[in-house]
Amino acid sequence: MSASFDYDVIIAGGGPAGSSAAIHLATRGARVLLAEQKKFPRAKLCGEFISPECALHFERLGIVDQIFSARPARLTETVFYSRRGKSVSVPSAWFGANGVALGLSRAEMDARLLRRAGDAGAHVLEDAQVTNLLFDDAAVRGVVVKQGGRESRYHAPVTLDATGRTRALARRAERNGTKLHRAPLVAFKAHFADTTVAAGACEIYFYRGGYGGLSSIENGLSNLCFIASARDVRACGADAERVVREVVCQNQRAAKTLRNAKAQTPWLAVTLEKFGRHKLSPAKGLLTIGDAASFIDPFTGSGMLMALESGELAANVISNHLSGSVKDIDELSAKYKAAYKQRFDSRLRVCSLMRRAAFTPGIAAIAIRVFGLSDHVRHVIARGTRRPSKANVASLD
Ligand SMILES: Cc1cc2nc3c(=O)[nH]c(=O)nc-3n(C[C@H](O)[C@H](O)[C@H](O)COP(=O)(O)OP(=O)(O)OC[C@H]3O[C@@H](n4cnc5c(N)ncnc54)[C@H](O)[C@@H]3O)c2cc1C
């Protein structure tokens, strides 16, 4: 790679996607800059359900001991509750790996991943916001980073947008094209003491206009994360406690498990704009990974898995480029897009079909009753939200 570049790869965003890509690339000798706008550890709005397949990624990332040193809760099933309290269970074992999901705060998980990226050799900047892209001949050739009131310019032939749902870099590249949609949904999260969530379960509650998840995390606390319609949130004066009481607790099971719950952290809230896939290469030299590439429905509990997986996928294709077997940036984008679609498109399609049920309590109740009749049907649908079988995945990655 040309010495005129400061780095081989620049990564904006130090969530699971950015850290995964940085660790895989740096351990293979690439010169990596990772710029994260926050100082870690930081709280993050998320269900904090770490799907069982993430264990394989933690192994490949060399971070298993660090994750377990945070004492995550072990989650052996996800139980979906209709408004009236009917339930259906999906065992974590159906997702393979070691068959156990983990409950761990994003503050702990993300900080450990970012630290590992630095240990692996990536140059990690915190409190460092990527504010602009540098173009040369219509190709992205670097970024502007603002840190402590100072702006610096860094150059690399490949830049990864790992800034999550904000897609900060992709939006800049698509400046003329992307419209901001009016957000129809609002998500909230806080940690609680004294819930009565079942041990080892991630409980999902459906109610009018949304759904929420409650599960154990480290230190004997529970994480409550839920999505409600913007209309209902406005009707509750945007007061999270009121939304819990008047909307989430329409679900009988939620009303029971949250009866004596006490919030231990401030509420976090974000608006949600759009699910599904975005552009994978919004400009020459710029690839998207994690939520910046696709936002999968949270009830699948697989967003972090997709973030880790797409970070690794991008790192594999970029490594082939650095070693010369993928010859130029156009071929790099084409290979990444093909590998990404093959890996993720079918699960994104399954989730978009299930989305309607998730946001319509009547349909959710019928689905819970019907899926409750057959382990086989439940198993097939649960697997559909994950990676296709090996037989369907060619060796592009
Ligand atoms: C309500 C809700 C519940 C969810 N529950 C779950 C769940 O239980 N399990 C699960 O697996 N997934 C869940 N998800 C999805 C999961 O949170 C995401 O898929 C995952 O965080 C994506 O990781 P990422 O690295 O792509 O982005 P993020 O985790 O969003 O990380 C992006 C990082 O980029 C940084 N950044 C942003 N802009 C800039 C910039 N300009 N410069 C530098 N840094 C920048 C941010 O500070 C952030 O640290 C949930 C999502 C929502 C909305």
pLDDT per position as a tens digit, 247-271: 999 999 999 999 999 999 999 999 9
Q: Where residue 361 falls among pLDDT bands split at 50, 70, 90?
A: low
**pLDDT over 60 at 382, yes or no:** yes
What is the pLDDT at residue 366? 74
- Is residue 161 lining ligand 1, measured as CB closer than 6 Å? no
Phi, psi values for residue 215, rounded to 5° = -155, 160
pTM for the predicted model, two decimal places: 0.93
75 lines ligand 1 (CB under 6 A): no
What's the confidence (pLDDT) of residue 267?
98
| Separation CA 143–CA 133 (nearest Å) | 4
Residue 160 pLDDT class (50, 70, 90 cuts): very high
The SS3 assignment for 350 reads helix
Rounded Cα distance between 41 and 19, Å, is: 14
Looking at residues 21-46, what average pLDDT do you find? Answer: 98
Distance 352 CA to ligand 1 centre (A): 19
> CA–CA separation, 242 vs 362, rounded Å?
23
Query: How far is ligand 1, taken at its centre, from the CA of residue 180, in Å?
Result: 18
Q: Is the CB of 17 under 6 A from ligand 1?
A: yes
Contact, 258 vs 214, CB < 8 A? yes
Q: Is 48 in the pocket of ligand 1 (CB under 6 A)?
A: yes
> Which numbered atom of ligand 1 lies nearest the CA of 169?
41
Instruction: Give me the amino acid identity at 396.
Output: L
96 pLDDT exceeds 60?
yes
CA distances from 382 to 6, 52, 242, 361, 387 (A): 44, 13, 32, 19, 11
> Residue 175: CB partners within 8 Å, gap ≥ 6?
none
pLDDT at 291: 97
Q: Which residue's CA is minimally distant from atom 21 of ligand 1?
A: 304
Residue 59 region by backbone torsions, left for phi larger than 0, else alpha for psi between -120 and 50, else beta: alpha
For residue 395, the model assigns a pLDDT of 39
Nearest CA to ligand 1 atom 20: 304
- pLDDT over 50 (residue 47): yes
**Mean predicted confidence (pLDDT) in 155-162:** 98
Average pLDDT, the chain: 91
Kindly state the average pLDDT of the residues 361-371.
71
Nearest atom within ligand 1 for CA of residue 272: 53
Report residue 388's pLDDT band, with 50, 70 and 90 as the boundaries: low
Over residues 324-343, the pLDDT tens digits come to 888 899 999 999 999 999 99
The whole-angstrom separation of Cα 227 and Cα 187 is 4
Q: Name the 3-class secondary structure at 215.
A: strand
Tell whether the torsion through CA atoms of 384, 387, 389 and 394 is positive or negative.
positive
Q: Report the percent of the chain where pLDDT is more than 70.
A: 92
16 lines ligand 1 (CB under 6 A): yes
Residue 371 clears pLDDT 80, i.e. is over it? no
Q: Domain spanning 9-180+274-392: which CATH class is it, in words? A: alpha beta
pLDDT tens profile 171-181: 999 875 555 56
12 Cβ closer than 6 Å to some ligand 1 atom: yes
Read off the tokens for 286: 């710029």
pLDDT digits (tens, 9 = 90+) for 189-246: 999 999 999 999 999 999 999 999 999 999 999 999 999 999 999 999 999 999 999 9
pLDDT recorded at residue 392: 37
In this prediction, residue 319 carries a pLDDT of 96
Out of 19, 23, 37, mutate this one to test ligand 1's pocket (max ligand atoms within 8 Å of CB): namely 37
Choose between 377 and 389: higher pLDDT: 377
Q: Is the CB of 168 under 6 A from ligand 1?
A: yes
Kindly tell me the number of DSSP H helices and DSSP E strands found in the chain. 12, 21
Residue 24 has pLDDT above 70, yes or no: yes
Counting ligand 1 atoms within 8 A of each CB, the residue from 34, 163, 205 with the most, and so the one to mutate, is 163
92, 61, 97: which is closest to 79 by C-alpha?
A: 92
Provide the sign of the torsion angle of the four alpha carbons 292, 293, 295, 300, taken in this order.
negative
Which atom of ligand 1 is the closest one to the Cα of 226? 1
Quick check: 34 pLDDT over 80?
yes
What distance in Å separates the CA atoms of residue 247 and residue 228, rounded to the nearest whole number? 8
- 213's enclosing H/E stretch is strand 210-216
Q: Which pLDDT belongs to residue 394?
A: 37
Range among 154-168, 289-303, 359-373 with highest mean pLDDT value: 154-168
pLDDT at 180: 58
Separation between Cα atoms, residue 173 and residue 171, nearest integer Å? 5
14 alpha carbon – ligand 1 mean position (Å):
9
